[in-house]
Amino acid sequence: MAKEHLGRYRNTWDCLAKVVRQEGVLALATGLGPTLWRNCVWNSLYYGTMHQLEDSRDGLGLLPVIENPVLAAARTIVVGTAVGVMATCFNAPFGERAGPGPHRFHRIC
């Protein structure tokens, strides 16, 4: 946070009141569209892939069922990490643009 902004707000409620008073209620939704797109992409890739890989109903997943609970948990952690990295790579274009400026968020449409 820049030093010139220190002390601008006393607390969270003061910040909320000043933003709504100065910029209007719609200012609170700035960046909501790109955030929703980014979360939809990440969640669908992550949970969809994990469901396909580890569907536990009668061994319907692409990975075989592991009976040992410790090994199953370890595999879930490793596979979940790999799938999370993959999902993050795909949702990165929907994130915030680096640097200051009025067009901080990407336009999707």
* pLDDT tens, position by position, 43-87: 999 999 999 998 766 667 888 888 999 999 999 999 999 999 999
Per-residue pLDDT of 33-51, as tens digits, reads 888 888 999 999 999 999 9
Q: Can you read off the two tokens belonging to residue 82? A: 């790999």
Alpha carbons 51 and 45: distance in angstroms, whole number: 10
Q: Give SS3 for 96.
A: strand
Domain regions of the chain by residue span: 1-30, 31-109
Q: Can you read off the two tokens belonging to residue 2? A: 């820049």
DSSP designation for 62: S
Answer yes or no: are the C-beta atoms of 34 and 95 closer than 8 Å.
yes
In DSSP terms, which residues pair with 105 in a beta bridge?
96
